[in-house]
Amino acid sequence: MIGAARSVLRRGFEWIERPFDALFGPALNPVAQLGALGFFFFWIVAVSGVYLFIFFDTGIERAYASVEHLTSYHWFHAGAMRSLHRYASDLMVVMVVVHLLREFAYGHYRGVRWFSWLTGLPIIWLLYASGITGYWLVWDKLAQYVAITSSELLDWLPIFGEPIARNFISTGTLTSRFFTLMVFMHVAVPLFLLFIMWVHILRISRPKVNPPRMLAAMSLVALLGVSLWKPALSQGHVDLAKAPAEVGLDWFFLPLYPLTDIWGKGAVWAFLGAFSLMIGLMPWLPPLRRAKPAEVDLAHCNGCARCAEDCPYEAIRMVPRSDGMPFPVQAQVNSSLCVACGICVGACPSSTPFRRSEELRTGIDLPDYSLRELRERVVACAATLTGSSRVLVLACERGAGAARATGTVVMPCVAMAPPSLIDFILSRNLADGVMVSGCPENACYNRLGVAWSEQRFAGVRDPHLRARVARSRLATIWASKFETKRLEREITSFRAGLAQLPPLKRNPLTASMISIAATADRRTPEEVGG
């Protein structure tokens, strides 16, 4: 059931993201910058909040008057800040909710990612607590509604001796000290929220906490425009002798409040508890079977740190050398963080399939899918290719090429393939062209696989694809598993382009390679065929 929901959501996101990709380009697509935009809106809320605090008076009678004063008489700066403060908070809720749904849709919450997923849960609670305490401070009719409903919800829990809600149903029971407490809460809770946001990204390598400047600038200008077009206004002074019967509700922060009237408070708490429990358990439902983590072979590791640099999970760190070799450091894998994506294998300068040794070894390798096995699969798969424009597809197991039946070698992530593998395929005439098929650019399962592959091919990231490799014989496609038709179209078009090129110079395989090619029995079903 979880898988079906994920699949439907994923299709939905891809349906939304493709037009956004077309308009914004992968780098600026806001749907792929949800976490970074969440941080961005937090900072807008923080700065505007500090500014508003200059004008805010915490007295019970003066709170409303001070907010009205800044909204009416200082609309062009403080009033605009109030609107920025409010709408940026709402946008942060939108970013958090859509971010959660997207990470769920793309399966970015299981395995080693449990930590970020789980620490996202208190972020939701704290974000809502921050917003609700903020609405309280305005002390208008909406604040009265929020105060009564929130305290009724809290009173349902058997914690307080005297119902808190009694403070808000008759005059003379509330003091200015209460507002001082609420201001403290409205400052302390967001500070704690920021701390948890930091914890949330602790285990992420190169977290995106700032959106691209162009996107940030457009968002800020648009937010300012919306703030001037529809300024945030109060809804009339609190009158405790009257019920706040009708209010303009903020549906981003307060969607559950009407449910307290429809379902009852117990049911709302049950819903919140069930939601939190479900979110908390999801990374382990069902338990994930993990591949064996990468292993370092010190005899082939020179401590260059490229693997540690490229690992998206911060699972590799450099430690002092332990084998007496004349290098200061060596790679060390934290097996609890490694997902066996193989990106480190592709980053290692020792990962070259040109090696003629009987046992192909590299500095860091996957026990379940070694570089040697990858070379064997490539050689075996190439032997099945026929025709004049032979295309060998190196495919990510989560992208469009994963289910392809022929001429395809599948791996955990395309960045597992070292650039020298492409050089090897073309220089040994194993194929006329290589198509690298990975996840969509903004939805790489291993976050950085697509980016690292592109940078290696472009020669801006080590290890580079050698200049001698004809770029016309290499094509990339970043497409999801739902875009198989697009992949086939791209392959057909690539083949047509290859047909225009002169034939490859033939460099025969060495004897050891030929013997490897003969081991066709090791091929997986996907690789068999022409």
Partner 1 sequence: MKKWLQICGQFAVIAALFAAVAAFADWPRYRQTPQGTGIIMLSFVHSADRRAECRRLTPEEIAKLPPNMRRVQDCPRARRPIYVELNVGDQIAYRATLSPTGIAGDGPSRVYQRFVLPVGEYDVAVRMRDTPRSDGFDYERMDRVALGPDQMLVIDFRPEAGGFVIK
Q: With H, G, I as helix, E, B as strand and everything else as coil, classify residue 400.
A: coil
**42 touches partner 1 by CB under 8 A:** no
Cis-peptide into 463, omega within 30 deg: yes
Q: Which residues make Cβ contacts (< 8 Å) with residue 76, sequence separation at least 6? A: none
Site for partner 1 in 125-154 (CB under 8 A): 145, 152
Name which position in 3, 4, 54, 162 contacts partner 1 (CB under 8 A): 162
The structure tokens 């859509």 sit at 98
Q: What mask of x and - would describe binding to partner 1 in positions 377 to 416, judged by CB under 8 A?
A: ----------------------------------------
Task: Find the part of the chain contacting partner 1 (CB under 8 A) among 229-237, 306-314, 328-336, 400-408.
Answer: 229-237
Rounded to a whole number of angstroms, the minimum distance from the CB of residue 318 to partner 1 is: 41
The smaller minimum CB distance to partner 1, of residues 249 and 383, is found at 249
Determine how many CB atoms are found less than 10 A away from the CB of residue 359. 8
Q: How many chain residues touch partner 1 (CB under 8 A)?
A: 50
Name which position in 6, 9, 18, 28 contacts partner 1 (CB under 8 A): 28
The DSSP bridge partners found for residue 366 are none
Q: What mask of x and - would describe binding to partner 1 in positions 237 to 276, judged by CB under 8 A?
A: ---xxxxxxxxxxxxx----xx--x---------------
Determine how many CB atoms are found less than 10 A away from the CB of residue 373. 15
The structure tokens 């009987």 sit at 358
The smaller minimum CB distance to partner 1, of residues 24 and 452, is found at 24
DSSP conformation class of 282: G
User: Distance between terminal CA atoms of the chain?
Assistant: 37
Cis-peptide into 30, omega within 30 deg: no
Compute the distance between CA of residue 363 and CA of residue 307 in angstroms, rounded to an integer: 9
Site for partner 1 in 74-103 (CB under 8 A): 86-87, 90-91, 94
Site for partner 1 in 477-496 (CB under 8 A): none
Q: Which residues make Cβ contacts (< 8 Å) with residue 56, sequence separation at least 6? A: 63, 66, 67, 70, 137, 183
Name which position in 77, 206, 230, 489 contacts partner 1 (CB under 8 A): 230
The smaller minimum CB distance to partner 1, of residues 20 and 482, is found at 20
Q: Which amino acid is at 248?
A: G
Rg (CA), the chain: 29
The smaller minimum CB distance to partner 1, of residues 196 and 226, is found at 226
The smaller minimum CB distance to partner 1, of residues 244 and 399, is found at 244
Q: Which amino acid is at 161?
A: G
Rounded to a whole number of angstroms, the minimum distance from the CB of residue 258 to partner 1 is: 6
DSSP conformation class of 404: -
Give the interface with partner 1 as residue ranges (CB under 8 A): 20, 23-24, 28, 30, 86-87, 90-91, 94, 145, 152, 155, 158, 161-163, 165-166, 169-170, 214, 218-219, 221-223, 225-227, 229-230, 232, 235, 240-252, 257-258, 261
